[in-house]
Structure 1
Amino acid sequence: MLTMKDIIREGHPTLRAVAEEVVFPLSDDMIKLGQDMHDFLKNSQDPVLAKKYELRGGVGLAAPQLNFSKRIIAVEIPNMEEENGKPLLSAVMYNPKLVSHSVQQACLEEGEGCLSVDRPVPGYVVRQARITLTYQDAQGTQHKIRLKNYAAIVVQHELDHLNGIMFYDHINDKEPFFAPDDVLLIN
């Protein structure tokens, strides 16, 4: 089981490297890595397990954060609008690619955080409000999905990890909470 000690922190060179695509068919190790990443996110959102294992809550995790420079991300995004507990998005994505995005931009009103960053970094991280993404699952099946608002922001954050970009690279140094008038603020 993955814990916080398995996650590398800012300053580690793997977090600034461009990750390599995974080759199909996947090795058992790559399948297990994806499943372990997904399990970490589920465990981090379970109040009992998170407390027991001292896990910070997360909705996304990229393989480079575990010191594997591979194009793998896992997401477990709760659906805040449904009471049945069904996630808005729950997936392990191999070789994800952003294929299109909206002109409309958005950012989280409270800013972003990261499991690899142990400090608050205030400021708006302006991203695309809607994206279309392709990826492969563990069996190599190709998927194409469209995401908007919060889910789109989470996935873009994880895609940045695959390209050696940290969320705070997007924050305006001089005016951290500056956003153009047409940027959608998501709370």
Structure 2
Amino acid sequence: MLTMEDIIRDGHPTLRSVAEEVPFPTPEEDKEILREMLEYLKNSQNPEVSSKYGLRAGIGLAAPQINVSKRMIAIHSPDENGTLHSYMIVNPKIVSHSVERAYLTSGEGCLSVDEDIPGFVPRYARITVKATDLEGNELKLRLKGIMSIVLQHEIDHLNGVMFYDHIDKKDPFKAPENAVALER
């Protein structure tokens, strides 16, 4: 079972490097890592389990955050309508995105960043992502709003980018142009 000790923190070199593609078919070891990542997210959202094991709640986790430099992501979160999105995906690529932007009014947080870094993080309001699942089936995910933001945050981890890299350093709370403000 993954715990907070398994999650590397800001400043670790793996968080700033580009993760490697996962070969096809997905090796069993990588599938197991992804299952553990999703299990962490589910456990972190369960008040009893998170309290018992001291887990910080998370809705997305990229393999580089557990010091595995591979292009793998787990997500477990409801969208604005309460629909649960639970994914274990390999080699995700954004293949199209909206011109319109979106940002969370509360800003973004990260399991690898212990301090609160205030500011708006501009993201695409809608994205289409191609990836594969654990069985090697190609997926095409069309996401908007919160889920679009979550997946972009995690894909950034695969490219060595942290959420705060997107915050305007001179004016952190400047609303991005052509952007929808989302509450979380």
Alignment TM-score > 0.5, same fold: yes
Q: Moved runs in structure 1, 4+ residues, more than 6 A?
A: none
Q: Distance in 2 between matches of 1:131 and 1:109?
A: 20
Give the C-alpha shift of residue 26 in structure 1: 1.8
Number of aligned positions between the proteins: 183
Q: Distance in 2 between matches of 1:78 and 1:4?
A: 22
Equivalent position of 2:135 in the other structure? 139
Equivalent position of 1:150 in the other structure? 146
Equivalent position of 2:43 in the other structure? 43
Give the C-alpha shift of residue 27 in structure 1: 1.6
Q: Distance in 2 between matches of 1:81 and 1:124?
A: 23
Q: Are 2:96 and 2:129, in contact at CA under 8 Å, matched by a contact in 1?
A: yes
> In the alignment, is residue 55 of structure 1 matched against residue 55 of structure 2?
yes
Q: Distance in 2 between matches of 1:165 and 1:181?
A: 22
Equivalent position of 1:95 in the other structure? 91
Same amino acid, percent of matched pairs = 55
Give the C-alpha shift of residue 79 in structure 1: 4.1
Equivalent position of 1:183 in the other structure? 179
List gaps (5 residues or longer) in structure 1: none
> In the alignment, is residue 116 of structure 1 matched against residue 90 of structure 2?
no
- Relative to the length of structure 2, the TM-score reads 0.97
Q: Distance in 2 between matches of 1:164 and 1:125?
A: 16
> In the alignment, is residue 174 of structure 1 matched against residue 170 of structure 2?
yes
List gaps (5 residues or longer) in structure 2: none
Q: Distance in 2 between matches of 1:181 and 1:119?
A: 27
Superposed counterparts of 1:121-132, under 5 Å: 121-132=117-128
Q: Distance in 1 between matches of 2:150 and 2:131?
A: 15
One-letter amino acid matched to 1:92: M
- Relative to the length of structure 1, the TM-score reads 0.95
Equivalent position of 2:3 in the other structure? 3
